[in-house]
Amino acid sequence: MKFLKKLSVFLGFTILILLVARFLLLPHIFPKRYQAYVEQYAEKYLLESSFVYAVIFTESHFRPDAVSPKNAKGLMQITDKTGQWGAEAIGRSYSDKVLFDPEANIEIGCWYMNKLMVQFHDKEETVLAAYNAGSGNVSKWLADEKYSDDGLSLKEIPFGETKRYVKKVLITKKIYEVLYGREY
């Protein structure tokens, strides 16, 4: 009887810890900041919001003033070249400050991710590799049998940083889906 009582107390305590972690702790670690913009532009550009949140989390940890060593800027770490191209394509004015504006950054980032989704046939891993390493590199890899069997998806990513990036974003996307459900 003592064993069953100890087991039930242990299980109850474990369940309580899991519930606290799930409903109180994890949403603070994996927030839905800029939710209105993410949901608006994810929907407009036919992306899952969990995919956009995962990219923002991985790229900048939701810091709109983030700048990478390669001078990518803002929440979704967009380069000036891509930012200027994207702003022009969607009818936004562009200046060197626009990528630090959360709404503009998220819209341009979602526009660009949509372009990559179309170019790479909705293959998330391939899209993420292109987002990180450039679509030119990924197109070369897809044409090389060493990296792709079918010319559509990558069996191997030759850049270690890009391989880690893809894995991290996909894991983060899964966490967002578990916490908040799949949202389009």
Report the distance separating Cα 115 and Cα 56, nearest Å: 17
What are the residue numbers of the active site? Answer: 59
**Which of 118-123's residues contact partners 24+ apart within 8 Å by CB, and which partners?**
120/152, 121/152, 123/152, 123/153
